[in-house]
Structure 1
C-alpha cells in the first residue's frame, strides 16, 4: 500500500526508490481508528506468486521452523511471517488468487479475503483490477473483524466500493453456528491433499458438528483445481496490461520466476480474455445454484503445509484451492486448525457468498472459541 512520501516497492527491486505519491485509503482509515503503522513488509514481486518467494529482495522466513527455510506463502509473505511470529499484532495484504489466505495458512494466522469493493484499492498497487481486494491478517478472527470495520466503506476514489453497503462484522460475531448448513468439499477432491491436512480438516468438521452445525454435501460445478488456470488467465491479461512496458524491456532486472507469469498475459487474445470473463459469469451462476440452502463451504486452505523453499516448483502454484474463491467472487476466511507432525500449521478456509464477511467471521470465531490452535505460538517468538 502507498504511504505518501514513503517507498513502496511492490516487491520489485526496480522500484526500490519509488516514492509513494499518495496514501492508500485503507491506511488513512486505520490511522483514523488509532492504529500505528510500524513498517512495511516484503511481498512477492508485483504481488504475483503464492509461494511467497522473492529472488530480488529476499524471501521471508516462516516462523514455525527456525532450522529450515520454508515458504511463508504469498504474495503477502512478509505480513504473514510478521504476524505469525508475533512481531506485529496484525497486518494488511491483498488477495488476487490467495495472497492473504495463503500466508495466513502457511504462517498460522487468520486472514480474510474480502469481497471486491468491500475495501478501497485506492493507493494499492494493482495486479488485476477484476480480482484485487485488500484484507487483514491477524492472530485471531476477532481482530480481522475489527480491522474490516475500520477499513471498509465507500470511497469516491474507488468506484467499486459503491457496490456493497458497509458490513456489520462484529455484532453477530458471537451468535454461534448452531443450525447453520456447512458444506464439506466433495470426496473427489480429497486425493489432491496431504493426509495430515485432511486429518485436521476432518477433525474440524467434527468440531462444527459438536457446535450444532449441519455438515452437508455439495455438488460443485467444477473441480477446484480448474479455477487455478481460469484465474491465471485473468491475472495474466490484466497484470500484463499494467506492467507491459516493464515486462517487455529485457534490460529490466526482474525476478525470473515472476516475469514469465506476467508475460503469459501477452499471449491471451482479446477474444479469449472476454470469453474468460463471460464464462466466469455462467460458472458463478452455477455455483450459486449449488449453494442453495447452504451457508458456507468449508475446505482446507491449501493442499499441504509449508514446504522448504528449496523444494518449490515455480511452474506450479499452491493456490489450487484459494483461486476458486477469487474466480467465484466469494468471501474467504483462513484460520489455523492444527499442526502437522513436523510442527507446521494447517488451515481451514471458510467460503461464504459475495459480501458475507460477517458470516465467515462468525463461523471462524465459533471455531476459535471451541479450540486453542490460534493461541499457540512458534518456539522462540
Structure 2
C-alpha cells in the first residue's frame, strides 16, 4: 500500500519486521516523530508513552535477533482509546473532571496485547464517557478529521482519537469501544475498517463503562486483513454472554474470503433509505453490485422493527446505565463536564427502574424475533452513517449519527464497517455489514471479499 510506515498495513509492517528490513525501534520512532510533529494539529492523542515505547521496541528487536519472536505482532505499535485502563496511567474517559485520575488496574486487553509483544504508543481522545457519535469534546478538544484540513469536520465518535490517529498515519491501528456505533462511525468518517464484536468476544475488564449491557471493545485498522489480525489478538478463548443466544446456535457458512457463492445478503428496506444522502445511497447501491458479482444473492427482507425505534431503546438502556456509573459527577454542577454530554446522560436519571427493566425484557423478546429473520439471511447490508463527515458547525448535538449502527448493539449482532466510496469532494463513505450473533469471522470474510474487488480502503487523506 505504501513505502512509508505511516500508511503501511500491519501485515506489510509485520512482513518487513520478519524480513529484517525494518526494526521495531525504527518503526516506533517513526510514529513518535509523526505524533510529535503533527498531533498538535490533529489532536488525536491525550498522552504518548514515548520512553516506554522506545524501550519496548528495543527489547522486541533484541528478542527477534535471539529467535524469541512472540508472534506476528511482536514489536508493532498500537493506540488505545482513553477508556482503557493501564495501572498508574491517567485514564480520563474523555472527561476534564478526571484529569488527575490514575488507573488502579490494567485492562485484560492490554495484558493480552503485551503478552504478544504489541507496543502501546499512548491513549487517544474520546467523547466524554463515550457518549456521542459526532466525535466532539468541548472540554478536552475535538480531534481533526484528516480528510478535510480546511473545514473542521466530524471525526466520528466516540472513538474519535483512535480513528483520527490511524487515518492520519500516527498509528498503524487502534482500539476503540462500541456501545451504539463508536467503533464504526469513526471508521466510516475516517475511511477505516472497524469491527463491532458481540458481547463476550473481547473482554471489557478494565475498560471504563458506559453500558455493561451494550459495551464492546473493537479493532480499527486500514484493512479487513489487519482488523482480523487485531480481533484474533484480542478475542477471548470462548465467548460468554448470559443475555444473548448461544454462539453454538449459529453454524454460519464460511466463505473462501473472495467467493461469496451461496451467501444471502439482505439489502436495506426501502423505507430505511430516506435518511441517507444521495451520495451515500449511490455508494451503497454500487457495493451491492460488487457483492453480487462476488457470488452473493442480494435479497429483500422485512424487518420486524425499524432502525429509529431500535435506536431509541438502545439509547434508553445506554443512558440509564451510563448515569448509574457517573451520577456523582453528573449531579454536581460544579464539575467541568462537557455541556453536550451532561444532558444526554442526565436523561438516565429520569428513567424509572420498572421502565429500565422492561426495556431489557423487551430487548430479549425482540432479539428472538429478529434472530428468526437471520435464519433466512447471512447478513444485512446498510450504510454505516447516513452522511459523509459533516462540518462541525453543522452538528446538531441533540441528534445522533448512530441511526444505522445502534441496531447491531441492541440485538447483539456482529457488524463490520468498511470504506465503500467517496463524495464529490473526496470525503469518505462507508458500508456496514451486519451479521448474526457471534458471526465476526463471516463478516470479516465478506468484508475481505469486498476489499479484494475494490480500492476504497487504499485511499489516504490528502496532504497528510
TM-score of the superposition, structure 1-length normalised? Answer: 0.95
**For 1:218-229, what aligned pairs fall within 5 Å after superposition?**
218-229=301-312
Q: Distance in 2 between matches of 1:156 and 1:367?
A: 27
**For 1:42-121, what aligned pairs fall within 5 Å after superposition?**
42-121=125-204
Q: Distance in 2 between matches of 1:173 and 1:91?
A: 27
- Alignment partner, residue 334 of structure 2: 251
Residues 43, 54 of structure 1: 8 Å contact kept:
yes
Q: Distance in 1 between matches of 2:241 and 2:417?
A: 26
CA displacement 1:146-201 (0-9 Å, x = unmatched): 1111111159999999x769x9xxx9663531221000011111111100000000
Residues 120, 158 of structure 1: 8 Å contact kept:
no
Cα deviation, residue 250, structure 1: 1.1
**For 1:93-242, what aligned pairs fall within 5 Å after superposition?**
93-154=176-237, 174=257, 176-242=259-325
Residues 173, 358 of structure 1: 8 Å contact kept:
no
Cα deviation, residue 77, structure 1: 0.2
The question of 1:374 aligning with 2:449 is answered: no
Q: For residue 310 of structure 2, give the secondary structure of its aligned residue in structure 1.
A: helix
Residues 211, 318 of structure 2: 8 Å contact kept:
yes
Cα deviation, residue 34, structure 1: 2.1
Residues 183, 196 of structure 2: 8 Å contact kept:
yes
The structure number with the bigger radius of gyration is 2
Residues 118, 164 of structure 1: 8 Å contact kept:
no
Cα deviation, residue 93, structure 1: 0.5
Residues 200, 240 of structure 2: 8 Å contact kept:
no
Q: Distance in 1 between matches of 2:260 and 2:237?
A: 30
CA displacement 1:14-67 (0-9 Å, x = unmatched): 111111111111111112222111111100001110000000100000011010
CA displacement 1:128-149 (0-9 Å, x = unmatched): 0000000000000111111111
Q: For residue 369 of structure 2, give the secondary structure of its aligned residue in structure 1.
A: helix
Q: Distance in 1 between matches of 2:243 and 2:182?
A: 20
- Alignment partner, residue 311 of structure 1: 394
Q: Distance in 1 between matches of 2:203 and 2:187?
A: 21
Question: How many equivalent pairs are there?
Answer: 378
**For 1:352-371, what aligned pairs fall within 5 Å after superposition?**
352-371=435-454
Residues 117, 164 of structure 1: 8 Å contact kept:
no
Residues 119, 134 of structure 1: 8 Å contact kept:
yes
- Alignment partner, residue 375 of structure 2: 292
Q: Distance in 2 between matches of 1:143 and 1:338?
A: 20
- Alignment partner, residue 323 of structure 1: 406
Residues 120, 154 of structure 1: 8 Å contact kept:
no
Q: For residue 417 of structure 2, give the secondary structure of its aligned residue in structure 1.
A: strand
Cα deviation, residue 83, structure 1: 1.0
CA displacement 1:188-232 (0-9 Å, x = unmatched): 111111000000000000001111110001110111121221111
Q: For residue 125 of structure 2, give the secondary structure of its aligned residue in structure 1.
A: coil
Q: Distance in 2 between matches of 1:174 and 1:235?
A: 35
Q: Distance in 1 between matches of 2:178 and 2:285?
A: 26
Residues 46/173 of structure 1: CA separation in 2 closer, same or farther (3 Å cut): farther
Residues 296, 353 of structure 1: 8 Å contact kept:
yes
Q: Distance in 2 between matches of 1:120 and 1:62?
A: 29
Residues 181, 214 of structure 1: 8 Å contact kept:
yes
Residues 117, 160 of structure 1: 8 Å contact kept:
no
Residues 96, 139 of structure 2: 8 Å contact kept:
yes
Q: Distance in 1 between matches of 2:226 and 2:302?
A: 33
Query: Structure 2: 5+ residue runs without aligned partners?
Result: 1-83
CA-based RMSD of the aligned residues comes to 2.2
Cα deviation, residue 370, structure 1: 0.3
Q: For residue 302 of structure 2, give the secondary structure of its aligned residue in structure 1.
A: coil
After TM superposition, where is structure 1 displaced by more than 6 Å over at least 4 residues in a row? 155-161
Residues 129/24 of structure 1: CA separation in 2 closer, same or farther (3 Å cut): same
